[in-house]
Amino acid sequence: MTAKVPARPDKWYLGAGDGLLWAPPFPQWLDVPGFWDEAHLYQYAIRPLFTVSFLAGGEVLSVRCRKRQWIPGTLTLEHGVGPP
């Protein structure tokens, strides 16, 4: 019987189990869409992993994370446009 791990809003790291790890110790871009902070593929740092920006009329929209839910193996983020 496997114990169910409760969801947590205070965690953010992800690992693929095959040498890929996204676990920035001091994330600078945690609340913006994408994975701007560095990831590691074996011993090599990759930054940014991927980024996302939204534009309207040629201007960058301010998109921020409204809700974060983490369980091992899954990171779910809900984003919204405008101030938090």
pLDDT in tens, 28-75: 988 888 889 999 999 899 988 888 888 999 999 999 899 999 887 788
Asked whether residue 7 carries a pLDDT value surpassing 70, the answer given is yes
How far is residue 35's CA from residue 76's CA, in Å, rounded to a whole number? 13
Decide: pTM greater than 0.75: no
pLDDT at 75: 86
Backbone φ and ψ for 41, nearest 5 degrees, come out as -105, 105
Length of the chain counted residue by residue: 84
Asked whether residue 78 carries a pLDDT value surpassing 90, the answer given is yes
Q: Which residues contact 33 (CB under 8 A, 6 or more apart)?
A: 51, 52, 53, 54, 63, 77, 79
Q: Which residues contact 16 (CB under 8 A, 6 or more apart)?
A: none
> Around Cβ 37, how many Cβ atoms within 10 Å?
19
